[in-house]
Amino acid sequence: MTLEVDADPYEFEFDPEKTALMVVDMQRDFIEEGGFGEYLGNDVSRLRKAVEPTQKVLEAARDAGFKIIHTREGHRQEMADAPPSKVERGDLDVKIGDEGPMGKVLVRGERGHDFVEELQPEEGETIIDKPGKGSFYSTDLDLVLRNDDIENIILTGVTTEVCVQSTVREANDRGYECLVLEDCTASYFPEFDEVGIKMIKAQGAIFGWVADSDEFISTLSDV
């Protein structure tokens, strides 16, 4: 069965059985008050606005039987997979791996590294722990998708111009078709959010398609 979403720059067609929903880096340290993102001076409310629509999409995708994938950016406890250039960049008082507001910053197993309460994975859903911004770099995501015969990815998450767009570009190079749900992504910087979305859908969907979550959810009523 092929479904069609009213998307930009044109309709996005997908087979639900060959489609995965990906929730990118909806982590406490990025989104919640008191997390590392706010510590850096960012307005986390700009990211929190993506939580509710993503929650609705996640519920709809679960009901429709989609494969669900959650990603988290972070490093091993001993920081062996964290490039020194990444750790040192920014000249910050609290760096990646240091003790932050919610435990060691971007370290696996710490409170800040975990998902926000509204978007916790359910049993059987895939979790990809990634050391970089793109979800394919140094992970087994491609193997996971190909083993389940996945051809299309519906993307939600944060931030639009960093981890979401990096993942879309990586997926595009590997032959996956991507649909980004615009209201389910967000950035600390509104202008980056706007331009990041435009870049994805430019030149006839050079990296992927863009749609509103309501359009996607309404399409699933046919499943």
For 164-213, how does the pLDDT look when each residue is reduced to its tens digit (9 = 90+)? 999 999 999 999 999 999 999 999 999 999 999 999 999 999 999 999 99
- Is the predicted pLDDT of residue 223 greater than 90, yes or no? no
Architecture of the domain spanning 3-222: 3-Layer(aba) Sandwich (3.40)
Candidate list 67, 104, 130, 201, residue with the active-site label: 130
Query: What's the confidence (pLDDT) of residue 138?
Result: 98
* Residue 25 annotated in active site: yes
State the average pLDDT over residues 72-82.
97
Residue bearing tokens 């989104």? 31
Question: Does the annotation mark 184 as catalytic?
Answer: no
Summarize pLDDT for 140-160 with one digit per residue, the tens.
Answer: 999 999 999 999 999 999 999
Q: Residue 91 — pLDDT band, cuts 50, 70, 90? A: confident
Q: Coil, helix or strand for 129?
A: strand
- Residue among 29, 67, 114, 163 flagged as catalytic: 163
pTM of the model: 0.97
d(CA 116, CA 99): 19
Across 172-181, b (16+ Cβ under 10 Å) vs e yields beeebbbbbb
- Catalytic residue check, 149: no
- Report which residue type is found at 142: D
Residue 151 and residue 178: Cα distance in Å, rounded?
9
Q: Which amino acid is at 161?
A: E
CB atoms within 10 A of CB 166: 19
Residue 19 confidence (pLDDT): 98
* Terminal-to-terminal C-alpha distance of the chain: 9
Give the residue extent of every domain in the chain. 3-222
- Phi, psi angle pair for 73, to nearest 5°: -90, 130
**How confident is residue 44, by pLDDT bands cut at 50, 70 and 90?**
very high
